[in-house]
Chains A and B, each alone.
Chain A
């Protein structure tokens, strides 16, 4: 047997389940796109934007963590690279955020490849802790780097509403559509990966590296590819977040809690699945945002109690994620 055994089925045209997935996605995303015209409340639109953003970034995390099985707890680094590249290029050099997004994404993917060399030799907990430490180093350096504003951060200038500079002070609806666009792109990329040879290889690397290797799967290259794609889209998420807030500082885009916030929706919804991050974010983000605003604001700690309790209960009760509740039969992952 060779690595060809770990390839998508060769059929003419698309499999019916795959076509169904695409139709579902088109329907769901169209409904979300229409929703801000019905729900006019700015607070709820804000929650929706954050939900879509975390769903998108969690989907990006899922590409490396869920499909390839490399539990990174340092994705805040890539998010921060995107946010900082976009902000510095826009504020200091007048380059529009669309350009910053691309630069941030490419830079981030390059960093992921560079770090991948030493990191992918590490296994299990050693890998996860190394990713935390690297992100903390990034945070420390940004904190003390005056060129990017140091601890004070970067304030975006006030401008008129424009799709060109991605600034919308008067209306939140464009941000909803931007975040949705980001989610749709990451979802579609994941969809393509899932059906491609890479997707099959990555799942093999996750499930049983030794067996995958014996079949000719190039484990190291698989991990590197997954890391680069994952870092690219995480950085694009960071770019969006910077333009949405119009102000960033090290803690607000690169602290450890972001690394967890990117992993959690996927874990909650179901890691290594197409809809897991979306389902997880749709539950987690509104819940934390609403508890935070209705139960005495951040700092009281009640939101942390609910949040922590929820993570604990779900991860213990449903290790496969909430999505597994709706699955009728176990999915066949590798054809033999």
Chain B
């Protein structure tokens, strides 16, 4: 591989990795908050992409301008899913872990079916973005503009998340609830409210990722399955519950995927990520930054 080809692989990997990190961070956040894995995370992403598509279809505006609405809608979806499904799953007295998996997995199947039934299995794409089809050339390395935009949005989102967690009352309540669910009740924090907002925030983050991805990726009912699995691998690699871990793991996953795709046939591009994941958890069972 020439130096230029390698630079191309690394640059593409970094940009995609930042988007993977953004997809995964909401999942990690919710897990850290309440020990629940949302098996419908990929379907949240799919929902966000369809919402973006629908808004563009209705308004004909540039998808970039519509991103805040997508994020707001997904915040609502997250809160409703917590209040309508997860809250009840957490009350189960028997088989708690199974109930969480299957309640959220059932929701995932339902969302996929609904997308197929109401929106047909057709592949769709958003064609009218100002960013669409444009490419930036930097010393022989070609970078598509939508991906650069996605990477920047991801960095901004992680920055914003850091500020939110460290500077606001909500962030402090979130952090306190993560650490000790029992004690926060004593100081007057409504745990249920923190969980609702936490789910809203987690879904809003994956909503942002979906809004970005919709600009340059095909939208179809199964799109969540692929990205969902990558998100679980990213979160497990970084360590469940670690926001910083999700960022680092996302970038690593992006690099490894780009390298695998350059070496092996395209159909095998996920092999590298999966092997890397197994390699890491077998040595460090809680991921790179997880608590052991």
Taking residues whose C-beta sits less than 8 angstroms from the other chain, chain B's interface range is 35 or more
Tell me whether A311 and B109 are in contact (CB under 8 A): yes
Select from chain A the residue with minimum beta-carbon distance to B109: A308
Residue of B31, B101, B113, B233 touching A128 (CB-CB under 8 A) = B101
Q: In the assembled complex, which residues on chain B have CB atoms less than 8 Å from the CB atom of A306? A: 113
In the complex, the answer to whether B270 meets A136 with C-beta atoms within 8 Å is yes
Q: Across the interface, which residues of A come within 8 angstroms of B37, CB to CB?
A: 125
- The answer to whether A299 has its CB under 8 Å from any CB of chain B is yes
Chain A residues with Cβ under 8 A from B102's Cβ? Answer: 264, 267, 311-312, 315
Question: Given that A129-B236, A315-B89, A319-B92 are contacting pairs, would A308 and B277 also be in contact in the complex, using a CB cutoff of 8 Å?
Answer: no
> Bound state CA distance, A118 and B85, in angstroms?
34
Minimum Cβ distance to chain B for residue A92 (Å): 24
Main secondary structure on chain B at its contact with chain A? helix
Task: Give the residues in chain B near A315, CB-CB below 8 Å.
Answer: 89, 98-99, 102-103, 106
Question: A71 to B101, Cβ gap below 8 A?
Answer: yes
A122 at the interface (CB under 8 A from B): yes
Is the CB–CB distance between B98 and A137 below 8 Å? no
Most buried by A among B95, B121, B236, B271: B95
A134: which B residues are within 8 A, CB to CB?
A: 274, 278
Are A300 and B101 in contact (CB-based, < 8 A)? no
Q: What 0/1 readout, one digit per residue, does chain A (97-135) give for beta carbons within 8 Å of chain B?
A: 000000000000000000000100111111011101110
Chain A min CB distance to B49 (Å) = 17
Contacts of A122 in B (CB 8 A): 281, 285
B98: A residues at CB distance < 8 A = 71, 267, 271, 315, 319
Q: Which of A264, A267, A305, A313 contacts B114 (CB 8 A)?
A: A305
**Contacts of B115 on A, CB cut-off 8 Å?**
301
Point out the residues of chain B lying under 8 angstroms from A303, CB to CB: 113
List CB contacts (< 8 Å) of A276-301 with chain B: 299-301
Residues facing A in B82-133 (CB within 8 A) are 85, 88-89, 92-99, 101-103, 105-118, 121
**Cβ-defined contact, A305 with B113, below 8 A:** yes
Inter-subunit contact B278/A133 (CB<8 Å) = yes
B35 → chain A, closest Cβ, in Å? 9
**Given A260, A271, A305, A307, which contacts B117 in the complex, CB threshold below 8 Å?**
A305
Q: Point out the residues of chain B lying under 8 angstroms from A299, CB to CB.
A: 116, 121
B249, chain A: closest CB distance, angstroms: 13
| Minimum CB–CB distance for A178 against chain B, Å | 30
Interface flags for A228-242 (1: CB within 8 Å of B; 0: not) read 000000000000000
Whether A140 and B270, one on each chain, are in contact in the complex, defined by CB atoms closer than 8 angstroms, is yes
Q: Would you list which residues of chain A between 181 and 205 have a CB under 8 Å from chain B? A: none
List residues 52-97 of chain B with CB under 8 A from any CB of chain A.
85, 88-89, 92-97
Cα of A134 to Cα of B233 in the assembled complex, Å: 11
Contact A316 B88 (CB under 8 A): yes
Chain A residues lying within 8 Å of B116, measured Cβ to Cβ, are 299-301, 304
Taking CB atoms, residues of chain A closer than 8 Å to B88 are: 316
CB contact between A133 and one of B31, B112, B274, B287 (< 8 Å): that residue: B274
Contact mask A303-336 → B, CB, 8 Å, 1/0? 1111111111101100110000000000000000
Q: CA of A271 to CA of B97 in the docked complex: distance in angstroms?
A: 12
Q: Which of B97, B107, B117 has the most CB of A within 10 A?
A: B117
* Chain A residues within CB distance 8 Å of chain B: 71, 73, 118, 121-126, 128-130, 132-134, 136-137, 140, 143-144, 256, 260, 264, 267, 271, 299-313, 315-316, 319-320
Give the 5 A-B CB pairs with smallest separation, nearest first.
A304-B113, A301-B116, A308-B109, A312-B106, A308-B110
